[in-house]
Amino acid sequence: MPSIYYHPDAVWHGWDVHKDTISVAVLQPGREIPATDKIFHDEASVRRLIDRCADRRLLRICYEAGPTGYELQRLLTSMGVHCDVIAPSLVPTAPGDRVKTDKRDSRRLVRLYRAGELVAIRVPTREEEAVRDLCRARADLVADRRRARQRLGSLLLRHARVYRAGGAWTHAHAAWLAAQTFDQPALTSAFDHYRAVLAVRDAAVDAITADLAGWYDRPPFADTVHRLGAYRGVTHLGGLTLACEVCDWRRFGRAGVFMGFVGLVPSEYSTGSSTHRGPLTKAGNEHVRVQLVESAWAYQHRPAIGVTLARRQQGVGPDTAARSWAAQLRLHRRFASMLRRRKPPSVVAAAVARELAGFVWAEMTAQAA
């Protein structure tokens, strides 16, 4: 931990934060039993609590990341108070502890915080968080569109209308949908309503994608977007998603740590001489993991620099282009090898995504060399 933690007169706070209340546990210097309090969750109450300390530079405050976001941390930082936002999934818990209250949670936090057992996350800047919210909003709209497509497809399947002339949701498929007619007026109305909802979802996704395109060339994302866009399967939109979700790539000391951050490492239970590895942990950042898995499917095809990829590689350095080509060669071999061993395609894509995570981490940390 940084040297700021080891001041002998530091006052340690563990906060259990909710929408309306904050449960506070305080460990004074030399004390082992924390004092507890509860305040209303607003700026005035937080300021009154901080003003009780004679020297706020001695305060060490932590709370778990959650739905209340980072505004509380930013408020405390602006007041000259050191505040860490803790990764909740990495907070140690006792197996036999079955009692959970706000007071107990805050006491546990402050004890672990002073002992140095907690892992703090990186708090994004307001601009980074805003673009991250826009990327996540698009992901939500894409999920809404997928559900609308499923509902329309289910209606057609129930009435034996199956499209077999190619892939679904293409221009040809759209023309086939427009040509469908039904004898029952009620069924026609249901079909038209489903199509109207889908049209709205398509328009919403197109609109938010256009909004995101304006950030591809703007700092602090432009360099990351164009470097990652040089990799097969990683579009500029995918690069922006990775850029705003990860932000600081150098906080991961090695590729394996980054793979664990996105949940692409196998779970493990080892005891004594036995070692058992299970499915992927799927812990950490789901948005980065989903993007990497989607990108990994591109490596099922033979290595090539197509027109689209060549356009994305314009302006990037030769080192980036070389690393991108090395990724194509290795990841395609990996994809083909696992398919030959009859591994399920979804398992293959996840395994390739794990190695792709290593390549993108190496790419973004190479700029610091």
Quick: pLDDT tens for 61-108.
Answer: 999 999 999 999 999 999 999 999 999 988 988 887 778 899 999 999
If asked whether residues 108 and 134 sit together in one domain, one would say no
- Residue 253, domain member (yes or no): yes
Label residue 368 by pLDDT band (50, 70, 90): very low
What was the pLDDT predicted at 367? 59
DSSP state of 68: T
If asked whether residues 238 and 323 sit together in one domain, one would say yes
What was the pLDDT predicted at 90? 86
Quick: pLDDT tens for 314-326.
Answer: 999 999 999 999 9
- Whether the Cβ atoms of residue 2 and residue 116 lie closer than 8 Å to each other: no
DSSP reduced 3-state for 245: helix
d(CA 360, CA 324): 9
What mean pLDDT do residues 108-130 have? 95
Contacts for 172 with CB less than 8 Å, ≥ 6 apart:
165, 166
Element spanning 29, H or E: none
- Whether the Cβ atoms of residue 169 and residue 198 lie closer than 8 Å to each other: no
Contacts for 189 with CB less than 8 Å, ≥ 6 apart:
none
- Residue 238, domain member (yes or no): yes
What are the tokens at 141? 């709209």
If asked whether residues 268 and 171 sit together in one domain, one would say no
If asked whether residues 206 and 228 sit together in one domain, one would say no
Label residue 5 by pLDDT band (50, 70, 90): low
If asked whether residues 150 and 257 sit together in one domain, one would say no
If asked whether residues 231 and 339 sit together in one domain, one would say yes
The pTM for the full model equals: 0.89
The strand order across the sheet containing 35-40 reads 35-40, 21-27, 11-17, 59-64, 82-86
- Residue 121, domain member (yes or no): no
pLDDT at 280 over 90: no
d(CA 72, CA 152): 44
CA distances from 203 to 116, 197, 219 (A): 49, 10, 28
Instruction: Please state the domain count of the chain.
Output: 3
d(CA 169, CA 174): 6
What was the pLDDT predicted at 7? 77
What was the pLDDT predicted at 101? 94
Higher pLDDT, 7 or 155: 155
Domain coverage including residue 26: 3-115
What are the tokens at 113? 């915080």
Q: In the listed set 86, 115, 144, which residue is the last one of a domain according to the structure?
A: 115
- Residue 236, domain member (yes or no): yes
If asked whether residues 309 and 241 sit together in one domain, one would say yes
Please identify which residue in the block is written with the tokens 């040509």: 179
Please identify which residue in the block is written with the tokens 């590729």: 255
d(CA 281, CA 128): 27
What was the pLDDT predicted at 2? 45
Please identify which residue in the block is written with the tokens 């080892």: 270
Q: What average pLDDT is seen over the chain?
A: 93
How many angstroms from the chain centroid is the CA of residue 8? 37
b/e for 124-135, b at 16 or more Cβ within 10 A? beeebbebbebb
Residue 197: which of 163, 153, 160 has the closest Cα?
Answer: 153
pLDDT at 275 over 90: no
If asked whether residues 150 and 275 sit together in one domain, one would say no
Label residue 327 by pLDDT band (50, 70, 90): very high
What was the pLDDT predicted at 369? 41
If asked whether residues 130 and 203 sit together in one domain, one would say yes
What mean pLDDT do residues 133-138 have? 98
- Residue 165, domain member (yes or no): yes
If asked whether residues 354 and 231 sit together in one domain, one would say yes
Quick: pLDDT tens for 215-269.
Answer: 999 999 999 999 999 999 999 999 999 999 999 999 999 999 999 999 998 887 7
What are the tokens at 167? 């892939």
d(CA 204, CA 213): 14
Higher pLDDT, 291 or 275: 291
If asked whether residues 230 and 320 sit together in one domain, one would say yes
